[in-house]
């Protein structure tokens, strides 16, 4: 039924071309004889179009998938580049860490060597210290015993006796006496009763004008009054007396084992005394902009004679010589008689060392 209707419709279209609307001018009129061929052709074209659409759809899907794959590939490539940059940064950090590790390892080795050296020295010092401690304990044990203390006291008495004997020889070599009359001399054993340090009793010293050393008088007047040196013999006698004192004092100091604060350069009546005077001088180090002050010690010599010398320098030399004698008096525990009593202090030093109290202390 449907086929007939379709055939009637087709026949109407073919046989009645005048009834077609003139508005459809593009329509093509096909004869019935060519209809089957045209229909077959249209059918094949429709099939080809359908197949082409399917291929197009398939190609679009493939193209879409390829585009998606490409986008994913680009994203992955970006990620790979970021990962590569991070990897390079980590490699650089690792190289820096490796260099730092090497430097640290070398420093640690050096410190380890230094520490091992210090440990070895400490071990040696510890061994020496333990040996010294044992010796000290043994010495303390021997000293705390009755025999040890007695032995120490005996050794001290022998040492002081030896010092007393040697200083008595100095006293015989350079006797210091007090002049009583024009031709009479007596030992100055009773002129002063100076006590040990800490006691308040001390007698008034005798004037230095009455003291002589090896028969020569020493007066402080030449160092205060220039007019006194009109007599050259008096100048020479004073210089000779100071030379005797300058020889006796270091002998006594060596026997007492006391280093003198002011050393002496012996030359008889032309002796000198040395004062180590500190002086401050600016010193620069290694292009430093800051100026540092470094203390240097200068050695100054002062004459123990007045011939051709400055009065002030000579007086200062006698003052320093008396300071040496006061140092020795302080060492044995005896008070000084004053800064202007050179021979009196020397006489008191000789008397104190030769007394029985010196051995018993």
pLDDT at 146: 62
CB contact burial 241-256 (16+ within 10 A = b; e otherwise): bbbbbbbbbeebbebb
pLDDT at 131: 93
What are 287's two structure tokens?
A: 């292009």
The three-state secondary structure class of 276 is strand
What are 196's two structure tokens?
A: 């040990």
pLDDT at 356: 86
What backbone torsions phi and psi does residue 329 show, to the nearest 5 degrees? Answer: -65, -40
CA 317 to chain centre: 40
Look-up of token digits 């940064």? 89
Q: What is the 3-state secondary structure (H, E, C) of 127-157?
A: HHHHHHHHHHHHHHHHHHCHHHHHHHHHHHH
pLDDT at 145: 66
How many Cβ atoms from other residues are within 10 Å of residue 326's Cβ? 20
Q: Which residues contact 313 (CB under 8 A, 6 or more apart)?
A: 302, 303
What backbone torsions phi and psi does residue 259 show, to the nearest 5 degrees? Answer: -75, 125
Question: From CA 215, how far away is CA 218, in angstroms rounded?
Answer: 10
Q: Are 238 and 309 in contact (CB under 8 A)?
A: no
226 φψ region: left (φ > 0), alpha (ψ -120 to 50), beta (else) = alpha
pLDDT at 229: 44
pLDDT at 90: 92
What are the structural domains, with CATH classification, of the chain? 149-177+209-278+298-359 (1.10.418.40)
Average pLDDT, the chain: 77
pLDDT less than 70: residues of the chain: 1-30, 145-148, 180-209, 219-231, 278-297, 307-309, 361
The three-state secondary structure class of 308 is coil
CA 343 to chain centre: 49
Question: From CA 127, how far away is CA 246, in angstroms rounded?
Answer: 47
Look-up of token digits 């009109």? 230
């Amino acid at each position: 039924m449907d086929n007939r209707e379709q055939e009637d419709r087709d026949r109407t279209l073919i046989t009645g071309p005048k009834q077609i609307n003139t508005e459809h001018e593009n329509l093509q009129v096909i004869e019935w004889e060519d209809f089957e061929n045209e229909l077959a052709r249209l059918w094949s074209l429709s099939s080809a179009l359908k197949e082409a659409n399917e291929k197009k759809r398939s190609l679009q899907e493939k193209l879409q998938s390829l585009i998606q794959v490409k986008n994913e590939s680009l994203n992955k490539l970006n990620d790979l580049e970021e990962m590569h940059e991070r990897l390079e940064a980590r490699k650089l950090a690792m190289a820096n860490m490796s260099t730092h590790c090497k430097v640290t390892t070398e420093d640690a080795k050096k410190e380890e060597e230094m520490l091992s050296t210090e440990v070895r020295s400490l071990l040696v010092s510890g061994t020496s210290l333990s040996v010294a401690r044992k010796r000290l304990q043994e010495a303390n044990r021997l000293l705390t015993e009755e025999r040890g203390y007695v032995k120490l006291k005996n050794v001290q008495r022998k040492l002081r006796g030896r010092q007393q004997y040697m200083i008595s020889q100095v006293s015989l070599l350079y006797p210091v006496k007090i002049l009583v009359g024009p031709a009479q001399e007596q030992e100055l054993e009773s002129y002063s009763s100076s006590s040990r340090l800490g006691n308040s009793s001390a007698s008034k010293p005798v004037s230095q004008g009455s003291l002589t050393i090896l028969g020569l008088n020493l007066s402080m007047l030449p160092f205060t009054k220039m007019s006194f040196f009109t007599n050259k013999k008096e100048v020479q006698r004073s210089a000779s007396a100071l030379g005797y004192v300058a020889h006796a004092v270091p002998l006594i100091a060596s026997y007492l084992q006391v280093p003198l604060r002011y050393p002496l350069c012996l030359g008889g009546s032309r002796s000198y005394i040395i004062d180590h005077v500190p002086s401050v001088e600016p010193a620069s180090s290694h292009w430093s902009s800051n100026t540092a002050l470094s203390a240097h010690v200068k050695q100054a010599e002062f004459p123990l004679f007045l011939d051709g010398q400055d009065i002030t320098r000579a007086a200062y030399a006698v003052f320093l010589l008396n300071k040496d004698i006061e140092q020795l008096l302080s060492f044995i525990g005896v008070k000084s008689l004053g800064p202007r009593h050179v021979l009196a202090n020397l006489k008191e030093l000789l008397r104190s060392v030769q007394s029985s109290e010196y051995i018993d202390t």
